[in-house]
Amino acid sequence: MVGEGIVKGLAETARNFFGSYVGKDRLTTIQYPEERLPQIEATRSFPFLVFDGRDSQQGLRCVACQICEKECPPKCILIKKSADKKPDAVGKPQFYPAVFDIDISVCMSCQICVEVCPFEAIKMDVDYNLSSDDRFGGLLLHKEQLAKSNEYYNKIHPTEATAVDAHFAEERAKTEAKAKAAADAKAAVEAKAAADAKAAAEAKAAPAAQEQPVGGETK
Ligand code: SF4
Ligand code: SF4
């Protein structure tokens, strides 16, 4: 029937309108910003940079490889790589972003930057309350504003963040096992070299001792 869809839509609207006076389940709107709808874990707004430890800049996982900058479709990421290396959250010297800006007025929340980052350094935030009356730079976020802790990441995306933490722990365990194996091998080589040197010294000393005249046998 022509117009059946419109009639059904209007009927649903009427049911919600009148029903909202008698039942809460018919209330399809909320009193924002006082009230917020609960967010599902897969919610995504704009990217942020994850840091480990307490220092939001030293602990940034980003090593300024610039892959995300190249892959971002609307080119809203600007990165300037540092000239020097600084210790990261675990004390390992790393390059870092001297500048890391995202223009979220251009960002289309596609998450490609997250997908391509090899260091789990950039993730999608869930915060959408970002409006600004500063049209010149109010939505241009710098690395200081973009940096958020791993605890925050765990809070907003627990499943994903737990998997990332487990992956890092596994990688750390592998690296430590490799380092221990290398140290053990080095110690074994050094011990063998020391044993060989001792044996050689003893072998050298033995003939000399045999050549010594035995006391009382001389005429
Ligand atoms: S979410 Fe997409 S558009 Fe936004 S910064 Fe990342 S790659 Fe660029
Ligand atoms: S966020 Fe990831 S991909 Fe982008 S520059 Fe930093 S380490 Fe590279």
121 lines ligand 1 (CB under 6 A): no
Q: Report if pTM > 0.85.
A: no
- Give the distance (Å) from ligand 1 centre to CA of residue 19: 41
Q: Is 119 in the pocket of ligand 2 (CB under 6 A)?
A: yes
Topology given in CATH for the domain delimited by 44-192: Alpha-Beta Plaits (3.30.70)
DSSP letter for each residue of the chain: -TTHHHHHHHHHHHHHHHHTTT-GGG-----TTTS-PPPPTT---SEEEEE-SS-TTTTB------HHHHH-TT--EEEEE-SS-EE-TTS-EE--EEEEEEETTT-----HHHHH-TTS-EEE--------S-TTTTTEE-HHHHEEEHHHHHHHSHHHHHHHHHHHHHHHHHHHHHHHHHHHHHHHHHHHHHHHHHHHHHHHHHHHHHHSPPTT---
Question: For residue range 107-155, what is the model confidence (pLDDT) as tens digits?
Answer: 999 999 999 999 999 999 999 989 899 988 899 999 999 999 999 999 9
215 pLDDT above the threshold of 70: no
pLDDT tens per residue across span 10-33: 999 999 999 988 988 888 788 888
- Ligand 1, atom 5, residue with closest C-alpha: 107
Domain boundaries, the chain: 44-192
Q: What pLDDT score does 209 carry?
A: 65
Q: Whose CA is nearest to atom 2 of ligand 1?
A: 110
Contact 76 CB / ligand 1 (< 6 Å): yes
